[in-house]
Amino acid sequence: MQIAPHGGRLVNRILQGEALEKAKQKATGLPRIKVDSYTGFDIDNIGKGIFSPLTGFMNREETRQVIDTMHLREGLPWTIPILLAASQEDADSLDLGAEVALEDEQGDVAAILHLSEKFSLDRTELVEKVYGTADEAHPGVAYTLSQGPVYLAGELDVLKARAIEFQDHNLTPEETRAAFAERGWKRVVAFQTRNPIHRAHEYLTKCALEMCDGLLIHPLMGTTKSDDIPGDVRMKCYQVLLDNYYPPEHVMLSLMPVNMRYAGPKEAIMHAIVRKNYGCTHFIVGRDHAGVGDYYGTYDAHYIFDEFDPQEIGIEPLFFDHAFYSKKTKMMASKKTCPGTAEDHVFLSGTKVREMLRNGELPPEEFTRPEVAKVLMEWAQKANK
């Protein structure tokens, strides 16, 4: 018996066969608005059921529920509104009840929107309630404030399943659920990352795997910050690590084509809900999950789960402290498991590692496996050139 999707049903809004052909023909005569890649990923997430139970972009009432109560409706947590922003000109040109073709950055019609509502919000209030700040140095705030002032709500018929790099690893929730069932995995833990997996991450995932049947390494591959390590480099790092340091019968690599919003604790809830839709029963929440800069406390993403009934979330979070290499025990550990003083603990920040790579120095094995370090070094040397 697999875990139920959020809301009880796995949504599928992607048209196929005759319905798809009719929609393509109809779209040629519809009013059309262009959307960026960020919105393109959101359309894809709705279409494939990654954002179940959403069937389209949120209306005003749903948005207010989410930002005021962190619920879509009673008993159904949701922490970040999924919105379709439009310019005033585009919004004024559309009639309520109309069907609207949404054109992606490739010039293709990604979906048809059944326009049910047009509304505006106080965007300062919106970003403060979602991100906890209105500081435009925050990437999520900057993106939200850069968008048009009108929001378009309505259900979607999705005409195009979005393809990404390493598409063979881009499994849908339906496909991961089938893969877990085929492997006989009943307790599956997901690990969220947007970076290469270093030794501390490896420690967390293996601790979690000890209590589960399978581990889903599930890196985020939607839009990220420009200074994040590129997706192709990350994939090489994941693959060499899995090839050498994980048992293949208990680990699976799949991509999560979802935008990184950098919303800290509220995004941790969303990441848990998304993994529930993929069929996972457990979810790793580490230090500063989905954070950026100094906007969130180190363990705020742990504390926010206390604000929900565990039955509402429906997936079990596994909370981990900051892990490090212990000189005393000669192994990875955390303050919960390791004696000794701070002088015995080896922490390496991402900034320090990037500095080492720029200087042609391999990060030490206490921080990352040598196979991963080699991939990062090759990337850094090409980037420097």
Domain boundaries, the chain: 17-158, 167-256+262-384
pLDDT at 177: 98
Q: What is the mean predicted confidence (pLDDT) over 257-266?
A: 96
Q: Which CATH superfamily is domain 17-158 in?
A: Sulfate adenylyltransferase (3.10.400.10)
- How far apart are alpha carbons 189 and 208 in whole angstroms? 7
pLDDT at 228: 72
Query: Does residue 282 carry a pLDDT above 80?
Result: yes
Asked whether 284 and 246 are in contact (CB, 8 A), the reply is no
Q: What is the mean predicted confidence (pLDDT) over 170-182?
A: 98
Q: Which CATH superfamily is domain 167-256+262-384 in?
A: HUPs (3.40.50.620)
Q: What is the mean predicted confidence (pLDDT) over 268-285?
A: 98
Residues of the chain with pLDDT > 90: what percent?
79
Interior CA angle at 252 toward 247 and 255, to 5°? 145
- How far apart are alpha carbons 353 and 367 in whole angstroms? 9
Query: Does residue 141 carry a pLDDT above 90?
Result: yes
- Under the banding of pLDDT at 50, 70 and 90, the label for residue 127 is very high
- Amino acid (one-letter) located at 331: M
pLDDT at 352: 73
pLDDT digits (tens, 9 = 90+) for 288-317: 999 999 999 999 999 999 999 999 999 999
Residues of the chain with pLDDT > 70: what percent?
98
pLDDT at 31: 98
- Under the banding of pLDDT at 50, 70 and 90, the label for residue 196 is confident
Query: Does residue 171 carry a pLDDT above 80?
Result: yes
Query: Does residue 351 carry a pLDDT above 80?
Result: no
Query: Does residue 94 carry a pLDDT above 80?
Result: yes
Q: What is the mean predicted confidence (pLDDT) over 350-354?
A: 70
85 contact partners, CB below 8 Å, separation of at least 6 = 39, 147, 148, 149, 150, 151, 152
pLDDT digits (tens, 9 = 90+) for 76-92: 999 999 999 999 999 99
Whole-Å CA distances, 124 to 118, 127, 148, 267: 19, 5, 14, 19
Average pLDDT of every residue of the chain: 94
Fold match flag (17-158 vs 167-256+262-384): no
pLDDT at 289: 92
pLDDT digits (tens, 9 = 90+) for 197-250: 889 999 999 999 999 999 999 999 877 666 678 888 999 999 999 999 999 999
Residue 113: strand, helix, or coil: strand
DSSP run (H or E) holding 250 = none
pLDDT at 138: 97
pLDDT at 194: 83
Task: Look up the pTM and report it.
Answer: 0.95
- How far apart are alpha carbons 193 and 68 in whole angstroms? 28
Query: Does residue 334 carry a pLDDT above 80?
Result: yes
pLDDT at 364: 87
Query: Does residue 11 carry a pLDDT above 80?
Result: yes
Q: Which residues are catalytic?
A: 194-195
Query: Does residue 121 carry a pLDDT above 90?
Result: yes
Q: Which comes out higher in pLDDT, residue 241 or 338?
A: 241
Q: Which comes out higher in pLDDT, residue 29 or 1?
A: 29
Phi and psi angles of residue 40, each rounded to the nearest 5 degrees, phi first: -60, -40
- How far apart are alpha carbons 314 and 138 in whole angstroms? 30
Q: What is the mean predicted confidence (pLDDT) over 36-59?
A: 98
